[in-house]
Amino acid sequence: MIMSQNKTLRGSLLLFLGSVIWGFAFVAQRVGMDFMQPISFNGIRNLMAGICLIPVTAFWERSHPDQKPLSEGAKRLQLRGGLFCGVFLFLASTLQQAGLVETTAGKAGFITALYVVLVPIAAWLLFRKNPGSWIWISVGLAVVALFLLCVPAGEAFSLSRGDLLILACAVCFTGQILSVDHYSSRVSPVRLSRDEFLICGLLGTVLSLFTETITLSGISQAIWALLYAGIMSGAVAYTLQILGQRDVNPALASLLMCLESVFSVIGGALLLGERLSSRELAGCLLMFVSVVLAQLSPLFRAKLRRVSSVSRPFS
């Protein structure tokens, strides 16, 4: 029991660190859009991430000599996992990058975080995985937080074209999170991360050759944004996601990862001069509360079980 809780805490910390890196990546992505178009930017950043993970994968396998060579069935499973995760990541990141052209980094971060609602609903509908009442309460609080941040006071709820693209991105990230949840415990996590990025990067780069104009000057001007988005947000943060999700259920994982939206607002304010209103600050605080509540939910359930067992009359 204690070992399981330690694994969950370790996984949660890895996902939290990933969310910090992703949050500031919204700033890098916005800056990159000043010099490159969305599909080519995403294609190159994901290829960079995949290439960086090739030597990491080799080092990982050398440092784990007890791992047996993959059978043909295991190789097919590994490839299938990389394909599913890579396609969902390609769709999500491309839609997100296109949406960022027409909306703010902070708002894009919070609309992306709608997967916090979509993941437990999809997991329940598809796999009958009920995360429990405390997680649903946390999801409800997160929705209120999203409303505070995305809808200005006194205005009716509305979505721009850029917001709709980000919303579609949230749906695709739901598929990516559930795919990682399904495959991360069945295949090598580092290989899964490597394959996911190589497939995503190849899809984006090939598509951009037919739909966009790629210039060396644009790449050189966006190089720092590409390096952060590719190496830190890509190779590092998504590997943290895959390692973290091995020990955390997908509903809790989505809550932890949606903290990226809080850090996207902080990053936008610190680095891009995007100002936060008191309403937006309240939304940030409420989002933190929802994540903390979800993290403490196992303790609440255990306490309720103890109270129930003590108060139950003798038969």
User: Which contacts qualify for 125-129: CB closer than 8 Å, 24 or more apart?
Assistant: 126/178, 129/249, 129/250, 129/251
d(CA 235, CA 93) in angstroms, rounded, equals: 14
Rg (CA), the chain: 20
Residue 175 has which token pair? 């598929």
Question: CA torsion, points 229, 231, 237, 242, in degrees to nearest 10?
Answer: 120
Q: What is the pLDDT of residues 223-279, one digit of tens each?
A: 999 999 888 888 888 788 888 887 777 767 776 776 776 777 677 777 767 676 788
Global pTM value: 0.73
Q: What is the pLDDT of residues 75-105, one digit of tens each?
A: 889 889 999 999 999 999 889 878 877 877 6
Q: What is the pLDDT of residues 2-61, one digit of tens each?
A: 555 677 778 888 888 888 888 788 778 778 888 988 889 989 999 999 998 898 888 877
pLDDT value at position 199?
95
d(CA 256, CA 164) in angstroms, rounded, equals: 23
Domain ranges for the chain, please list them: 13-64+71-132+155-273
pLDDT value at position 308?
45
User: Which contacts qualify for 7-13: CB closer than 8 Å, 24 or more apart?
Assistant: 7/247, 8/247, 8/248, 8/298, 10/244, 10/247, 11/243, 11/244, 11/245, 11/246, 11/247, 11/248, 11/253, 12/244, 12/248, 12/252, 12/256, 12/295, 13/244
User: Which contacts qualify for 66-72: CB closer than 8 Å, 24 or more apart?
Assistant: 67/188
pLDDT value at position 266?
74
